[in-house]
Amino acid sequence: MLKTGLIGIGAMGSGHLDNLIRLNKEKSDINLVAVCDIDGSKFKSNKKIEGNLEGVGGGGGVDFSAFNCYTSADEMLEKEQLDLVLIALPTYLHCEYSVKCLNKGVHVFCEKPMALNPDECQKMIDAADKNNKKLMIGHCLRFWGQYEETKKIIDSGKYGKPIAAYFFRGGGTPAWSYNNWLLKRECGGGALLDQHVHDVDTVNYFFGMPKSVSALGSILYEGSGYDSVTAQYIYDEPMAINAQDDWALAYGGFSMVFRVNFERGSVIMGENGFIMAGRGETAQSDNEKPFTPEYDKENAYYKEIKYFADCIINNKPVEINPPESSRDTIRIVAAEIESADNNGAVVNIK
């Protein structure tokens, strides 16, 4: 049984809270015993916290008397004998508190993005290695059913090699963050680092590390990082891969879509749902009738926590999302920022 603590119950943390409570009710290997948030009123209000994505936000109607509640993470770490901590703090605190927990001998699941830059990511990895503890970052799309199924298609070679891919993620501006940290470049990195990073990680997961990138971005909100971005990923293999993000849409809402085109087929997640189809041998031949494949519809946030707990309890390596891969995703992001700062110049991944 893993005695578990949760640090941060904002939009992401409250969603994790709901899943941890579900795991408690299921009498799983995870036992949530302590929660921490700088705003102690959350432990009394039971207010539902809103996010912009399915599975994000929650917390309404929670009986916090079932847990030890803290407004200081340091106090929680000192008083509780924890095995696992989930960190759902603002990005600029990820490195500091992950290292603190790891140095206390606690396994860490930290929300994405891993940190503000690759150097901070490496500090987290070094702390995990030094203390012989496991570290995983919450790149939930690696556990999202449609993305899981697409990864299987890529790895199996069912439709041949990928030749092109497109990813889009966007919606209204996140105006709900504590002290508006999401719109402060030094705290959250803007849409490029906070939201676009999902698709950067998917590019990394699906196709491996690109050798270089070219990115363009625009800033709508003064002091923010890039609020809109488009990026091209350059590989030794000839593939046309692009990802776009925009969290400044005036009508709000949220959407995430992707398309992966192969030598012999296509996979699309979009307005018409999740579909795939095989391609005919020539442009004149008939293609396979589009169909929706079977895929796991379980909550990805729930699945990623269960997976990490299994890795801890059975002392298995974190293979789906090792921290080194999450660090590499931030290496790609850092190159995109450098490229956007230089009007789309091609930047090699460092």
Residue pLDDT, tens place only, 262-320? 999 999 999 899 999 999 887 778 888 999 999 999 999 999 999 999 999 999 999 99
Mean pLDDT of 18-25: 96
List, in sequence order, every residue forming a beta bridge with 35; answer none if it has no partner. 6, 69
By DSSP bridging, strand 162-171 and strand 240-246 are parallel
Residue pLDDT, tens place only, 122-143? 999 999 999 999 999 999 999 9
Residue 239, number of CB atoms within 10 A of its CB = 17
pTM for this structure?
A: 0.94
Which residues fall within 8 angstroms of residue 40, CB to CB, at 6 or more apart?
Answer: 69, 71
Omega before residue 113 within 30° of 0, cis: yes
* 6 SS3 class: strand
pLDDT tops 80 at residue 180: yes
Residue pLDDT, tens place only, 81-113? 999 999 999 999 999 999 999 999 999 999 999
pLDDT on residue 215: 98
Least-confidence region, from 41-45, 205-209, 259-263, 326-330: 41-45
Please give the DSSP secondary-structure letter assigned to residue 224.
-
Give the CATH superfamily of 2-139+301-320.
Answer: NAD(P)-binding Rossmann-like Domain (3.40.50.720)
High-pLDDT (> 70) share of the chain, %: 95
pLDDT tops 50 at residue 4: yes
pLDDT on residue 181: 95
Q: What is the mean pLDDT of the chain?
A: 94
pLDDT tops 60 at residue 59: no
Domain boundaries, the chain: 2-139+301-320, 142-297+329-348
Are 68 and 80 spatial neighbours (Cβ–Cβ below 8 Å)?
yes
Assigned CATH topology for domain 142-297+329-348: Dihydrodipicolinate Reductase; domain 2 (3.30.360)
pLDDT on residue 285: 80
The region, left, alpha or beta by phi > 0 then psi within -120 to 50, assigned to residue 19 is alpha
Kindly list the distances between the CA atom of residue 323 and the CA atoms of 155, 269, 289, 301, in Å, as whole numbers in the listed order: 21, 27, 39, 17
Distance of CA 168 to the CA centre of its chain: 15
Q: Residue 44: which pLDDT band, with cuts at 50, 70 and 90?
A: confident
Distance separating alpha carbons of residues 218 and 323, to the nearest angstrom: 30
User: Half-sphere exposure of residue 296, counting CA atoms within 13 Å on the CB side?
Assistant: 18
